[in-house]
A and B are shown apart, each in its own frame.
Chain A
Amino acid sequence: MARKTPFGQQMREKHFGFAPSYTPLNHGSFGASPLIVQQKQRELQKLETERPDSFIVYDLPDLIEESRRAVAPFLGVPAEEVVFVPNATTGINTVLRNLEYKEKDVIVHFSTIYDSCEMTIASIAEMAPLTASSVLVEYPIEDDMIVKRFRYRVLELIDEGFNVKIALFDTTLTFPGVRVPWEDLVKVCKEFGVLSLIDGAHGIGDIDLTHVGAVGPDFFVSNCHKWLYNPRGCAVFHVPLRNQPLIRTTIPTSYRFQPKKENEAAEQPPKSHFIELFDFVATMDHSPYCCVPAAIDFRKSICGGEEAIRRYTWGLARLGGKSVSQILGTEVMANSTGSLTKCSFTTVGLPIALKAEGEAVGKGCYSVKDALKIKAWLNKTALKEFDTYLQVGLHAGTLWVRLSGQIYLESKDFDWVGYKLKELCLRLEGGKVEL
């Protein structure tokens, strides 16, 4: 039996195509896929190029079905309840734009909502009677506090005569990079008859989601091109059978849409044609959808399976985060139960003093208004001088850095970035930096 490539530097050199001088500590934003899977994608693209018409018309549906069958067990749901869309943003848009809204309808979300989702709601609200209600959450915070605030808000809204139609929340937040008690939030939704839309952009391949079917959210979307090592763009969109009639159209609408008028004229009621609807929407490169089995196979045979991967990446994030925080003299974003860090992210505070608006700013201090400029400077400088991208963000008045544990990294990479960050922050403190 071939010896398994160990995680860390060797895995990186053998299986990933990163530039040698680049330190990839931000897997969370755009993911990465191993060379073997990229090769598979190339083969599929070649097939499509050699015989485009026959590939698209005859081969593609079978390949997509194979992918659906491979990924469904990751969510613990039947394959009939799973289709692919290009990315989580499209999945969220698909749900929110399919629903019909009437006066007094409200969508509840948290203040940490991903900004594209917030924009989607704002866009819809321009033409439909939908109101957004944002629940303020500042980290670190305990899980039960999040759930409590959510429940109170729902009760408040009902009291005020609103119809809480749907709630949108994450499995793992984008920023800070922390785990969300989404299962308990779904329970609250069910208690009050609120539709639950889960933005699992950070989900499949990072956290165990085999209980999604059991928990039973109303709609669930997760990017395969983030943590599942699949090529961009591919996301799994799960809609339980009971809700499939609510998803009348893909986004964009295409030729497989069945207008109600046609259905009414037909003799028999239409069968759910959810799968067919999403099988081909419009011309695009479908090869990412077809790579899912190869990505899953890589994780199983080369990496030793999901649990093995998780153990390493979560463990590395935990250790690495601690190390960086010690080097910087700051803290890792964590709560008392340790629930926030049950993922491959670690979010560490940056030692940059930010004064509130209006407060006096001395040398080496900055106003919170400068936070974006500081972030941009850190991004640019780290890239130029150290060839790494730092996912820096402002949360609750402090700057943090979000780092991603991965199988192609080792603790030395985190130590390294800790010292580089320290250097950069000292320069900022020195006040000679041009923002």
Chain B
Amino acid sequence: TGSFGTFPKAISDLRRAYLDECEKSPDPFIRYELGKIMDQNRKAVANLMGAPVETVVFVPNATTGVNTVLRNIEWNEDGQDEILYFNTIYGACGKAVAYVCEYSRDSVQAREINLTYPLPESMILATFRDTIKASRAAGKVPRIAIFDTISSLPGIRMPFEALTKICQEEGVLSLVDGAHGIGHIPISFQTFQPDFFVSNVHKWLYVPRGCAVFYVPVKNQHLIRTSIPTSHGFVPKKGLGSPNPLPNSGKGEFVENFEFNGTIDNTNYLVVGESIRWRQEACGGEKVINDYCINLAHEGGKLVAEILGTNILDNEEHTLTQCCLVNVLLPVSTQPYENFQVVEEEKKGLVTPWLEQTLISDYKTFIAIYSFQGQWWARLSAQIYLDKSDFEWAGHTLKALCERAGKGDVSSFAGTN
């Protein structure tokens, strides 16, 4: 589920109903109904988050949310601004940072925080503080730090609440990429107060793709001048331009800015509330779901590691695994380790694509395979539609695949496209 999410039939039926209503009379639906229904759904997810409704809007995905923040920041012309980010930053976000720096002709620069896993939480926090110090010692101004709630690859929980507090103490803006966030782990915005936050609801909240929540506390809303792309809701500083052709909603500039950002089908934004309700009624609520999934990830990951004769990625305090993702080391290497399958050094680039493709073609499943710190890992997602037997199956499947890799199947892999 971690990559693209999925959703139950009840939700897709409701979405289809909205789409049909839209097709029956497009103008009235899009101009008059959409905004109202979207507000109801904003309220539902804001309640879930424990955040005021005026701080929450929808964007198509977390990538758009992150881009929106980074492109809105006015960088200082003295060229000393820095963006802090971790080496485990999601690929697209890393590129967004790189782009912003490039476009600014390096007047803003990026500083990477390198972590080697596993490591204790206190080390993550200490390294973060040290990086802020180092930035200042170099005469720079760390303006904003971007970090995950749960990083993607590896899929591990970051101490995002504590990192946010450090940012507050140090006067650094915090941009939290909660792509794996809402619906995955409990997050309350009563206690957790980042400067900017995005979370995909199409991942773990069972909403059809793509829909993400973009949270900006009222005190920071003036920093977000434009949506990406810019659209009708933008209010120019100099007061020029024609009035917004869509009906005035009186909801405040921030909310209006994000209400309509170019024609897309965003009927999926309209089922967020229903999804939250379904999770409550059909599943027993967020806590029940989270507990089940986190527990399954723990037990399932342990099982897979046993079958493979390896281990899961975790630290001693087990803070990294407080989520529904688990990362299992694959017994594949270019070195002759005991009980590991050996692949040739020159073929190591083929391992991940071969494994992923063969999992689909021969075993009809998709498991995220990635290389990290010189090793190969499989990232599994626990979900309410899975149980231990699925993980057991995954373990045996991965074992068989790794054996094939060792026997030379990777070497003859031609790859696709």
B333 at the interface (CB under 8 A from A): no
- Known A49-B12, A232-B264: A255·B95 in contact at CB below 8 Å: yes
Q: Is the CB of A254 within 8 A of B60?
A: no
The contact string, 1 if C-beta is below 8 Å from chain B, for chain A 277-300, is 000011111001000000000000
B92 and A254 contact, CB distance less than 8 A: yes
A173 to B100, CA, bound (A): 33
Shortest B261–chain A CB gap in Å is 7
Chain B residues whose CB sits within 8 angstroms of the CB of A372 once the complex forms: 243
CB within 8 Å for A223 and B245 given contacts A17-B20, A30-B26, A285-B208: no
> Count of chain B residues with Cβ under 8 Å from any Cβ of A?
71
Interface residues on A, range: 35 or more
Which B residues are CB-close (under 8 A) to A387? 25
Asked whether any CB of chain B lies closer than 8 Å to the CB of A159, the reply is no
A118 to B23, CA, bound (A): 29
Write the nearest CB–CB distance from A141 to chain B, whole angstroms: 19
In the bound assembly, the distance between CA atoms of A97 and B68 in angstroms comes to 13
Between B94, B236, B416, the greatest number of chain A beta carbons within 10 A of the residue's beta carbon is seen for: B236
The reply to whether A87 and B236 form a contact with Cβ atoms under 8 Å apart is no
A residues within 8 A CB of B102? 248, 259-261
A54 CB within 8 Å of chain B: yes
Give the distance in Å from the alpha carbon of A92 to the alpha carbon of B234 in the complex: 15
Q: Does A326 contact B (CB under 8 A)?
A: no
- B-side contacts of A115, CB under 8 Å: 232, 241-242, 244-245
Query: A31 to B22, alpha carbons, bound, how many Å?
Result: 11
Q: A53-B3, A259-B99 are in contact. Are A87 and B26 (CB under 8 A)?
A: no
Inter-subunit contact A253/B96 (CB<8 Å) = yes
Verify A252–B228 contact, CB threshold 8 A. Answer: yes
Q: How many angstroms between the C-alpha atoms of A129 and B139 in the bound complex?
A: 27
Flag whether A323 is at the interface (Cβ < 8 A): no
| B103 contact set on A, CB distance < 8 A | 100
Q: Does A93 contact B (CB under 8 A)?
A: yes
User: How far does the alpha carbon of A30 sit from the alpha carbon of B100 in the complex, in Å?
Assistant: 33
A410 to B99, CA, bound (A): 51
Q: Is the CB of B92 within 8 A of A255?
A: yes
Which residue from chain B places its CB closest to the CB of A383 in the assembled complex? Answer: B28
State A43–B9 Cα separation when bound (angstroms).
15
B230 lies within 8 A of A22 (CB): no
Return chain A residues, CB-CB under 8 Å to B240.
122
Contacts of A376 in B (CB 8 A): 247
Could you count the A-B residue pairs with CB atoms below 8 Å apart for me: how many are there? 202
Interface residues of A in 16-67 (CB under 8 A from B): 17-19, 22, 24, 26, 29-33, 38, 42, 49, 51-54, 56-58, 61
A387 to B200, CA, bound (A): 37
B252 contacts partner chain A, Cβ-Cβ < 8 Å = no
B262 lies within 8 A of A285 (CB): no
Q: CB-nearest residue of chain A relative to B6? A: A52
> Are B241 and A49 in contact, CB atoms less than 8 angstroms apart?
no
Q: Is A90 in contact with chain B by the CB < 8 A criterion? A: yes
A165 vs B417: C-alpha distance when bound (angstroms): 38
Partner of A49, one of B7, B92, B416: B7
> Does A92 lie within 8 Å of B229, measured CB to CB?
yes
The interface residues of chain A lying within 8 Å CB-to-CB of B193 are none
Residues 92-117 of chain B, each 1 if its beta carbon lies under 8 Å from chain A, else 0: 10111011101100000000000000
Whether A257 sits at the interface, judged by CB under 8 Å, is yes
Residues of B within 8 A of A281 (CB): 63
Inter-chain contacts of A26 with B (CB < 8 A): 27
A374-423 interface with B by 8 A CB criterion: 376, 379, 383, 387, 389, 391
A88 and B262: CB pair below 8 A? Answer: yes
Chain A residue with Cβ nearest B227: A123
Kindly list chain A residues whose C-beta atoms are within 8 Å of the C-beta of B30. Answer: 29-30
Which residues of chain A come closer than 8 Å to B209, judged between CB atoms? 283-285
User: Could you tell me if B265 and A288 are in contact, using CB atoms closer than 8 angstroms?
Assistant: yes
Answer whether residue A86 sits at the interface, using C-beta atoms and an 8 A cutoff. Answer: yes
A244 contacts the other chain (CB 8 A) = no
Among B345-368, those with CB < 8 Å from A are: 356, 360, 366
Given A54-B360, A254-B92, A259-B95; A89-B229 close (CB under 8 Å): yes
- Judge whether B61 is part of the interface by a CB distance below 8 angstroms: yes
Smallest CB gap from B15: residue in A: A45
- The 0/1 profile, CB within 8 Å of B marked 1, for residues 114-132 of chain A is 0110111011101100000
Q: A249-B99, A251-B67 are in contact. Are A123 and B23 (CB under 8 A)?
A: no
Known: A17-B23, A389-B31. A283 touches B230 (CB 8 A): no
A87–B265 Cα distance when bound, in Å, is: 11
Are B236 and A283 touching (Cβ within 8 A)?
Answer: no
Q: Roughly how many angstroms separate A90 CA and B202 CA in the complex, as a whole number? A: 22
Q: Do the beta carbons of A30 and B64 come within 8 Å of each other?
A: no
Determine which of A57, A120, A233, A251 lies in contact with B265 in the assembled complex, contact meaning CB atoms within 8 Å: A233
**Across the interface, do A52 and B247 meet the contact criterion of CB distance under 8 Å?**
no
Per the 8 Å Cβ criterion, residues 311-344 of A in contact with B are: none
| B389, CB-defined interface residue at 8 Å | no
Cβ contacts A to B, 5 pairs, < 8 Å: A58-B416, A93-B229, A116-B262, A233-B262, A282-B62
Beyond A116-B232, A118-B242, A261-B98, 18 extra complex contacts between A and B, CB < 8 Å? A42-B16, A49-B12, A51-B366, A89-B230, A89-B231, A94-B229, A119-B234, A122-B236, A126-B225, A249-B99, A251-B67, A252-B64, A252-B67, A253-B63, A257-B99, A282-B62, A285-B265, A387-B25
The 5 closest A-B pairs by CB, nearest first: A252-B67, A53-B366, A93-B229, A89-B262, A389-B27
What residues of chain B have their CB less than 8 Å away from a CB belonging to chain A? 3-7, 12, 16, 20, 23-28, 30-32, 60-64, 66-68, 71, 74, 91-92, 94-96, 98-100, 102-103, 200, 202, 208-210, 225-226, 228-232, 234, 236-238, 240-245, 247, 261-265, 268, 356, 360, 366, 416-417
| Residues of A that sit less than 8 Å from B by CB | 17-19, 22, 24, 26, 29-33, 38, 42, 49, 51-54, 56-58, 61, 86-90, 92-94, 97, 100, 115-116, 118-120, 122-124, 126-127, 223, 225, 231-233, 248-249, 251-257, 259-261, 281-285, 288, 372, 376, 379, 383, 387, 389, 391
